[in-house]
Structure 1
């Protein structure tokens, strides 16, 4: 199934051709002319590099001469369905472990079901919650999954977190219907996009080049009052292309005060200046209104997994950003991509103030982020298959943080009539320059990489009643922090046999300090107590992947990540005050693999467009503390402990049965081993000051999902699915103040109409 090229999402059955003007095109941006042009060299199209970059839309049959003269074209459609091109536009990805999930190959994902969305991507741990307001994931046991801070999330190469450096939380996820594919890059991705050790890049759908106007609308209903609508239109006319979509969904939730409303839209305009230049404009808008039913102790969860502990808490998020793009193919060897973006993230949280009992008070918290970024990249091909890339990234943001205390438990997100209790002004300045080169020596290739990062944070606190009311009073925060970090990477690879390749990658990374790391407003401690160093990482990965037969793809690798100066929140007194400190070092070792095989991909013989794709992937992990400044409850070192949220395995398997233009049916299972939720590998006996209990480990769980699309006619499609088929009662999110249950069995059904 992975080798099909028919775009059926809108039931218009149009051929999903890649833009011939720029193979592998991603959103890019308008800018002033930058960077050098490099010397001419050998014929690009006659090397493995150039051919691998080309789209494989016309390569369903390769004659003997092509295979002999261009062996890298062997089974290219299978390769491209699972793996990024070796040089993707202006980015070099060869020798870096990557996974591609093409959403047209699976049934429609409804309501951002993350288990279905990431089913074909090995290793991602999803910490599940019942409202769709944030992305909670981690990878290979690196950090708390909360809000996905340890994985950089991008949309068409642009960061979509709240504040890229100072507060990299994920409260916006693109609606799956608007996404063509998901790219997941490990380790060396930090030298492509930023310092993080892994990157999720959501690639937006492109306009259909074969029509002037078309689209579809989709409406779905489901459990707990779910209603979901998605509508899109797109087309191409002359030099212009356009695409617009709108989405809306709402539900009552499984628990009281578990309702949510989410809406958003995307707009893309493109204008081809000539055969070598193109301008683009993209606008993304998102709104969410999510109730927060609250966390509970394990004892409460056993008694009633649908208990609501916070009947009035709520979170509102607005996330908007616009991207201007410019790209230029100066010739067949040199191309430039530039992206300029401007965005706004507004987040408000309403919560009952626990410290104000018995008087019922609520806190309204507002965090706003205004950010601007510029990214420019140049690629030049030279010699026999070599390529050089270089560029820079600049980013600036301002983030005021405000809090008000009042007696209205249902205060609106814009009602600031309460008493001000916190006022912080925060800002980020970030810049990076980078360069990579792929050298080819026959079937062997080597990729050295370098990136230089500079980060500057400022936090200025002018009001904090928790500190000024302390006895004695605590100074307000007025801190700035600056750090410059060089990063290096090296990749090696070798093509062998018939569609097989080895890869080795060693890459450095680091986690920039956040606002909370240098200027936390919580607690009554001196600001000088918050003075940690940034976390650094080195990733080693060696593996082999291949596409030795049509429809067959495999990838298996060994990895080790050395994580130095981990940052954690440490409780420092009896009333729960915390500071962020360096807690020690961890080592993460394991093996990760995936295999997918379309059993009906039988060469050139007709199979009536049918596909029976079996898939399985797993990440097996052994993570340990190798150094520690913290202590276990018995006073011993954490050395030898397993870090929090580092299960020994994350595994998925399933089958997708499909026939082009007719149906797609998917049955998949996700299984996660038990895992500790705090680094001291113990539980707790109190939650929010009340008698309670949280076990040391989140129990193992396995969840099965079914989904399907069925075309009644060329333009009418039915959608249906059952999530958590066995109605498993489980949880995967735990904090010091309690756990959050996952969804039980849920259903959905709907219809899509093309036009």
Structure 2
């Protein structure tokens, strides 16, 4: 029997043979040169290799995984004593101390025994679906997650459409995730939780490999870039409790962790080629490997399609490269570079009548969008001791947001005039030039006979955005950013400086109970300077304003282990959302005033839940949440001293979201029958109930020289359906997997007034409930060849998730109808 990383509760017995002779009892690793080599093999009791287990050297940055033959190899090890740790999912960690001599090779033979008390033979195999979702460990080398609601989506085990980043499938087992499905290309992911806005995931702190990748996390947190999911190893999601370690926003942390370099061989190749509906073609290619102390990893990805709707073609290139070198056993340096370039044609919005007539139609053939994105990162990891790890990075962002199009209301047709000429298009551009640095330290210490952990760090961020808008573009149809005038009417320099310090400490009160208090100190400065608009005579309306503030966030989390694998957890954390650039710059009006006392939105989140697993047949996570969102920012229409209307941007109200997030997955075959010759089946339900309401929300109107102000208390928050349910079945037979998914989303409102009757321009009105069915299948042959296929939206349902007020609308943005794909891959 071949034992993989998914085997549970194993007892590890080591048999060590060394060709080295005894040396000094207390050598110092890192001093003696030249170096030695450690090789080894990990097997089960029957002698079959154990693949995918982690082998690391305690107190160092050196770590590998076993290959298909169960082998591992460490090169360039300075002479000295080392402690080898073998671990993995469901494996009981075991330590073994040995000696490495210079110019010698030490061989380690590891035999793994199954624990009869904790592991029965019939539960070694289960449906693949049960391996798709995990939680983050209490302590990692960079953070503490004890007491927080965490979810890990293992994309390598996920049976979903990764080619076009189908988000509803990827987050199918993550309860309560709302998805905006107006971009069938998958270029940009828009998700949210707990009644927050899904707009380009801007209520999350979005990261890749732990580094910020959004435009500006403080001034403009929209995530115009996300990696291709074929390149992602796992997605880490930490809800509100992430605010102390990661800062804004209310949604928490969304971290894309890329596939690591192959650690058990010098060269590895992965390639995936895909074709699909409407001209879809995708090619993903990755090489990686480990040579001594050096690891390298690089991929190139290109995807194009004509799009399901008219005027919706796109092309996108993603590239990534990293080099990692263990300078010493304790110090590792890594350099990463991410690059994306894309051009997509935006089909624009529809009126309700147009959507009902034909959701695939488009009346905007001249709208284009592009977001070139470059993210360089330098990282240093230093193992100060066996208990203490220091991580530092310096990261940057060089990126643009470019759009050109006819942006009038959808009720205004984009047609040529009597002379056969189209109107000039509008050009809007953002240029992002950011850099930052983050230093994190995690250490373990002993107090009152128990081991505790401290996580602390400091972050510096300097962001600069050059915002150029309302430019006069050409009258053509293609992507073209050439201005027809000498300057943009609006040209603003927007800057943010942030310095933050955080500390969290995990106290182990008993063997079962932990308490983790923490705090975060924030210092934040915004600067806006430049030209807000041009007058008819060519004179400039200039703006110059600055805002600085300092504040403290606090929180506490706790966990209690009821039994092996079953945990009670709870968390209370303050959170905030900074005043954004958009809050300080109006879209069109000139009679606009920013409240000098405008405050960042502040509030808190509460979590309480029960999560765990029973054997290999049941996973669950059921929790309650409460999100208090104070000082929401909005606009009031008021009268000035001259009795003329003006717009005031100020804090207008508070909303509260509360509800239940529940995930349950069950394998009846393993639970009741044990082994099966016809395969295994997991059934899952992921349900999020959210009651998101405004407790108060000031609105005002001006009529006949009078201001009328009311409060929209008890209205539902826009874009926040009460019920989001996903039900699925995952069938596994050897290396064949088939997954069926039913996605059901309740009705939502598109504005705070809870308007029911759609407006003529389709920007307000109800977003009806909908349901979508997806089918996916995958098959692995000889662990080398991969075949994937799927049908998205099997019933060809017509639905939409968003009414847009501006670009890429305005109007209704339909989701894609039925599409399919076929993919073939190779791993060497």
* TM class by smaller structure: 0.7 to 0.9
Match of 1:706 among 775, 791, 797: 775
Q: 2:41 matched to which residue of 1?
A: none
Deviation string 1:466-489 (CA, Å, 9 cap, x unpaired) is: xx3499x99422111112121000
Instruction: Give the distance between the partners of 1:750 and 1:62, measured in 2 at CA.
Output: 37
Is 1:291 the equivalent of 2:357? Answer: no
Tell me how far 1:107 sits from its aligned partner.
2.5
- CA distance 1:528–1:635, change in 2 (3 Å): closer
- CA distance 1:236–1:154, change in 2 (3 Å): same
- CA distance 1:272–1:193, change in 2 (3 Å): same
Q: 2:39 matched to which residue of 1?
A: none
Unaligned runs of 5+ in 1: 8-12, 28-50, 68-76
**RCO higher in structure (CA 8 A, sep ≥6):** 1
SS of 1:732 mapped into structure 2: strand
Q: 1:553 matched to which residue of 2?
A: 619
Q: 1:624 matched to which residue of 2?
A: 693
Q: 2:126 matched to which residue of 1?
A: none
Deviation string 1:76-98 (CA, Å, 9 cap, x unpaired) is: x9899511010021211010001
Structure 1 contact 177–230 (Cα < 8 Å) conserved: yes
Q: 1:504 matched to which residue of 2?
A: 570
Q: 1:63 matched to which residue of 2?
A: 115
Structure 1 contact 470–524 (Cα < 8 Å) conserved: no
Larger radius of gyration: 2
- CA distance 1:664–1:64, change in 2 (3 Å): closer
Equivalent residues in 2 for 1:337-376, closer than 5 Å: 337-352=391-406, 354=408, 360-376=423-439
- CA distance 1:354–1:566, change in 2 (3 Å): same
Match of 2:723 among 645, 649, 652: 649
Is 1:210 the equivalent of 2:264? Answer: yes
Match of 2:328 among 263, 266, 274: 274
Count of equivalent residues: 705
SS of 1:545 mapped into structure 2: strand
Q: 1:415 matched to which residue of 2?
A: 482
More displaced 10-residue stretch of structure 1: 316-325 or 548-557: 548-557
Tell me how far 1:321 sits from its aligned partner.
0.6
Q: 1:431 matched to which residue of 2?
A: 499
SS of 2:542 mapped into structure 1: coil
What TM-score does the superposition give when structure 2 sets the normalisation length?
0.79
Q: 2:28 matched to which residue of 1?
A: none
Tell me how far 1:699 sits from its aligned partner.
0.7
Match of 2:610 among 544, 555, 562: 544
Deviation string 1:276-322 (CA, Å, 9 cap, x unpaired) is: 22111111111111111111211221122122122101101111111
Instruction: Give the distance between the partners of 1:596 and 1:23, measured in 2 at CA.
Output: 37
More displaced 10-residue stretch of structure 1: 744-753 or 524-533: 524-533
Q: 1:135 matched to which residue of 2?
A: 189
More displaced 10-residue stretch of structure 1: 539-548 or 579-588: 579-588
More displaced 10-residue stretch of structure 1: 55-64 or 208-217: 55-64
Tell me how far 1:214 sits from its aligned partner.
1.6
Tell me how far 1:134 sits from its aligned partner.
2.2
Tell me how far 1:717 sits from its aligned partner.
2.2
Is 1:382 the equivalent of 2:452? Answer: no
Tell me how far 1:551 sits from its aligned partner.
4.0
Match of 2:205 among 152, 163, 174: 152
Tell me how far 1:259 sits from its aligned partner.
0.5
Structure 1 contact 464–521 (Cα < 8 Å) conserved: no
Tell me how far 1:195 sits from its aligned partner.
2.3
More displaced 10-residue stretch of structure 1: 154-163 or 651-660: 651-660
Q: 1:96 matched to which residue of 2?
A: 148
Q: 1:406 matched to which residue of 2?
A: 473
Structure 1 contact 530–579 (Cα < 8 Å) conserved: no
Structure 2 contact 652–698 (Cα < 8 Å) conserved: yes
Is 1:743 the equivalent of 2:816? Answer: yes
Tell me how far 1:253 sits from its aligned partner.
1.0
Deviation string 1:647-698 (CA, Å, 9 cap, x unpaired) is: 11111121222345x2222111111110111111014654xxxx45566321
Instruction: Give the distance between the partners of 1:22 and 1:409, measured in 2 at CA.
Output: 63
SS of 1:105 mapped into structure 2: coil
Instruction: Give the distance between the partners of 2:624 and 2:796, measured in 1 at CA.
Output: 35
Deviation string 1:124-149 (CA, Å, 9 cap, x unpaired) is: 1001113433222221102x322221
Structure 1 contact 588–622 (Cα < 8 Å) conserved: yes
Instruction: Give the distance between the partners of 1:55 and 1:449, measured in 2 at CA.
Output: 29
Q: 1:72 matched to which residue of 2?
A: none
Deviation string 1:364-411 (CA, Å, 9 cap, x unpaired) is: 111010111111111111122310111101111111112321343346
Match of 1:395 among 461, 464, 467: 461
SS of 1:192 mapped into structure 2: helix
Instruction: Give the distance between the partners of 2:164 and 2:596, measured in 1 at CA.
Output: 39
Instruction: Give the distance between the partners of 1:483 and 1:529, measured in 2 at CA.
Output: 15
Instruction: Give the distance between the partners of 2:189 and 2:799, measured in 1 at CA.
Output: 19
- CA distance 1:202–1:621, change in 2 (3 Å): same
Structure 2 contact 58–386 (Cα < 8 Å) conserved: no
Is 1:675 the equivalent of 2:748? Answer: yes
What TM-score does the superposition give when structure 1 sets the normalisation length?
0.87
- CA distance 1:273–1:521, change in 2 (3 Å): same
Unaligned runs of 5+ in 2: 8-48, 64-84, 93-111, 120-128, 640-644, 703-707
Please provide the CA RMSD for this pair.
3.3
Q: 2:242 matched to which residue of 1?
A: 189
Structure 2 contact 698–709 (Cα < 8 Å) conserved: no
Q: 2:34 matched to which residue of 1?
A: none
